[in-house]
Amino acid sequence: MTRLKTDLLVIGAGSGGLSLAAGAVQMGANVILLEGHKMGGDCLNFGCVPSKALIASGKAAYAQSHAAQFGIADQSPKVDYAAAKDHVADIIAQIEPVDSQERFEGLGVRVLRDYGEFLSPTDVKAGEHIITARRIVIATGSSPFVPPIPGLDTVPYETNETLFDLRERPDHLLVVGGGPIGMEMAQAHRRLGCAVTVIEGAKVLGNDDPEMAAVVIDQFRAEGIQIEEGALAAEIRGQAGTIEIEAKDGRIFKGSHLLMAVGRKSNTDRLNLDAAGIETTKRGIKVDASMRTTNRRVYAIGDVAGGLQFTHVAGYHAGLIIRQALLGLPAKNRTDHIPWATYTDPELAQVGLTEAQARQEHGGNLEVVRFHYSHNDRAIADRKTAGLIKVMVVRGRPVGVSIAGAQAGELINLWALVLANGLKMKHVANMVAPYPTMGEINKRAAGAYFSPRLFDSAGVKRIVGFVQRWLP
């Protein structure tokens, strides 16, 4: 065994671990990075990157078959499913060097391609090395949760970790789980020529505002995707090509392939956390507001910490650790300014409180402002008029924004900036947006907040009347 000492040990080379290691080493810290699987973690290899690449393939196919509205003849797309997967692999390959071992070693990080296992509160074993670090950060991420449904262990199934290696196009894809992963992959596969059934035990897109989710669900049904809600899987049976799912209420769904997309579980099994005095919860590693675990030397960030499971959250957490562990400055985790998006078509995006949450928290002080895509000229020109924005406002300050529609994931950025910095509706109203853009939707939402105050106010009308009478 070789003993190593370092300022910072990062366990896991996903988005959070890589951001932390790169920032720390460039600021002068001695850094060791452990990764027992793939550099780049879930996001690069099995999640954000490949899923968005496959969604792009689906959009291209859909555009060919829906071009007549633009004066171009519809064409039935000739989908090469294996070639679409080649496209996915090519996109991963283009991004891979940024997350590679070679790049990080070039920055000065010592990269060990082994899993980390705690031997004590201060020591971690990785292969033939025992590492002692002043600070340790666990950034091991999450992996697909596969529930113990009777029969599931006897049939072939995909998760997001295997789906992108599938080369044969499914005739009929059964998707168990109506969350973001399940819904994104359901639509992508439908547009690539598969029959698709989404089977959800509760409500699809259940974490989103129901009014917003309905915009997406209507489009899914229009595209021929079968959505079955309240269908809790009780038994799965069959074999490759002929799979059946029986719900607890007796409904039976048949398909050729099965995708399990019911959630995520934190990757803690290999860590031997008990040896380090690190407590866990049902969701992941227990952390305080500064992302510190019950072992004061050890932090946990990203999915493994059991909070919001998004790549950008892991990157945000990395910044909190740099502030504390490297600069000795206080830093507290907050979530009220964290946006997220689901990249269906139309897209869904959210930051801050939903309408229901805002009503519960703020009661009669809440104002809800709506503006529909159908009143935006660019949306009309692009024939993307399905959708709306809702802004939850308390005393002139937004506390939450929900968007359903084209480019919702881009539009939410402005509101993330507003909430992060405590800005008010007047600051958005003061912005000048180029015409014609989707971005005008944000400004028009702010205008919708002020319009009643300006146009329906007797006081304003009296002032204008006075000025008009006496102004030279």
Feature table: binding site for NAD(+): 177-184, 200, 263
**Residues in the chain, overall count:** 472
Inter-CA distances, 316 with 25, 151, 197, 288, Å: 17, 40, 36, 15
Q: DSSP label at 410?
A: H
164: helix, coil or strand? helix
Strand-pairing partners, residue 403, are 349, 389
Estimate the crossing angle of helix 408-420 against helix 440-455, to 10 degrees.
60
For residue 126, which of 9, 276, 267 has the smallest C-alpha distance? Answer: 9
Contact 48, 311 (CB under 8 A): yes
- Reading the block at residue 88, the tokens are 């996915």
Contact 371, 389 (CB under 8 A): yes
* Cα gap 36→122, rounded to integer Å: 20
Which residue matches tokens 């008009």? 468
68: helix, coil or strand? helix
Strand-pairing partners, residue 199, are 176, 228
Binding residues for FAD: 52, 116, 140-142, 303
For residue 36, which of 146, 124, 132 has the smallest C-alpha distance? Answer: 124
At 419, which amino acid appears?
Answer: L
Q: DSSP label at 280?
A: B
Which residue matches tokens 């599931």? 152
Binding residues: 52, 116, 140-142, 177-184, 200, 263, 303
Contact 286, 280 (CB under 8 A): yes
- Reading the block at residue 141, the tokens are 């991420």
